[in-house]
């Protein structure tokens, strides 16, 4: 594939493309081409990920693979800029646990106490994380390990007040991101209504965004922005 900045396609719809407008505004405010390109690349990477998902859902596995590769090329480049922070997101344990009556009572008391403070009951997964040692040592609690903890690379790109977050399974990112052992850990924050240890992966591109950001345009932009 030819790869030089001159390959940047000239687009008639440039002025109506919200990603280009956003990036141009950042470039003007900060006086930094690099910052503007980071915004472009992060925004197109997000769209590429949504295109990959759409292709996969509709059975176009080759195209899905191509767009996941584009997204990864973008993440590789973004991760090497000063705008990105890469860490490892440790999933909450989601082993199936049957608490003994004594520990069930302790959990219930802790959950009730935390509800008083925040209004939300303490998620079971969070409690297990904090008390895992107790449960492991208890002869009466039963643990059925699930094994797959779904640890992820977490890439946070920040430019001014803009923030782009990406998650990537470890085995997918290991080829181009630093080894997990060299990165800081973050703990998954259990959200309301989400089950511990489960992640919501990106969604497919909406019909509206598919018209605004055609697949060919997204591919061309990422190729141009990642070639140097």
Which residues of this chain interact with Zn ion, rule CB under 5 A?
100, 103, 138, 140-141
* Smallest distance, Zn ion to C-beta of residue 221, A: 55
CB 93 to Zn ion: min, Å: 16
3-state secondary structure of 84: strand
- Identify which of residues 100 and 219 has a Cβ nearer to Zn ion in the complex: 100
Residue number, 67 or 107, with CB nearest to Zn ion:
107
Provide the token pair at 80.
């090497």
Q: Least distance in Å: CB of 226 to Zn ion?
A: 52
- Name which of 137 and 181 has its Cβ closer to Zn ion: 137
C-alpha to C-alpha distance for 111 and 130, rounded to whole angstroms? 13
Q: How far is the CB of 145 from Zn ion (least distance, A)?
A: 16
CB of 140 to Zn ion, least distance (A): 5
Q: Which is nearer to Zn ion, 142 or 206 (CB)?
A: 142
- Residues 223, 9: Cα–Cα separation, whole Å: 10
- Crossing angle of the two packed helices 33-57 and 18-30, in degrees rounded to 10: 160
And the tokens for 2? Answer: 């030819």
175/187 Cα distance (integer angstroms):
23
Cα 46 off chain centre by: 9
Query: Which residue reads 């779904």 in tokens?
Result: 150
204: tokens are 């497919």
- Cβ-proximal residue to Zn ion, closest one: 138
Pick the closer one to Zn ion by CB: 25 or 109: 109
Contact between 45 and 72 under an 8 Å Cβ cutoff? The reply is: no
Largest interatomic CA distance in the chain: 69
């Amino acid at each position: 594939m030819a790869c030089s900045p001159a390959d940047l396609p000239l687009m008639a719809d440039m002025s109506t493309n919200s990603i280009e407008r956003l990036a141009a505004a950042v470039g003007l405010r900060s006086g930094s081409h690099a910052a503007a390109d980071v915004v472009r690349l992060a925004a197109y990477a997000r769209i590429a990920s949504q295109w990959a998902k759409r292709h996969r859902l509709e059975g176009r596995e080759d195209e899905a693979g191509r767009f996941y590769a584009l997204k990864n090329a973008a993440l590789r480049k973004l991760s090497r800029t000063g705008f990105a922070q890469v860490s490892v997101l440790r999933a909450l344990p989601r082993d199936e646990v049957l608490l003994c009556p004594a520990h069930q009572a302790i959990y219930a008391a802790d959950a009730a106490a935390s509800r008083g403070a925040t209004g939300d009951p303490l998620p079971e997964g969070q409690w297990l994380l904090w008390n895992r040692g107790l449960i492991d040592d208890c002869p009466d609690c039963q643990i059925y390990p699930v094994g797959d903890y779904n640890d992820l690379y977490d890439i946070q790109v920040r430019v001014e007040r803009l923030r782009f977050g990406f998650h990537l399974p470890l085995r997918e990112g290991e080829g181009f991101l630093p080894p997990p052992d060299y990165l800081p850990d973050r703990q998954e924050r259990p959200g309301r209504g989400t089950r511990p240890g489960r992640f919501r992966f990106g969604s497919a591109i909406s019909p509206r965004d598919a018209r605004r950001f055609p697949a060919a345009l997204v591919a061309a932009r990422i190729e141009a922005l990642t070639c140097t």
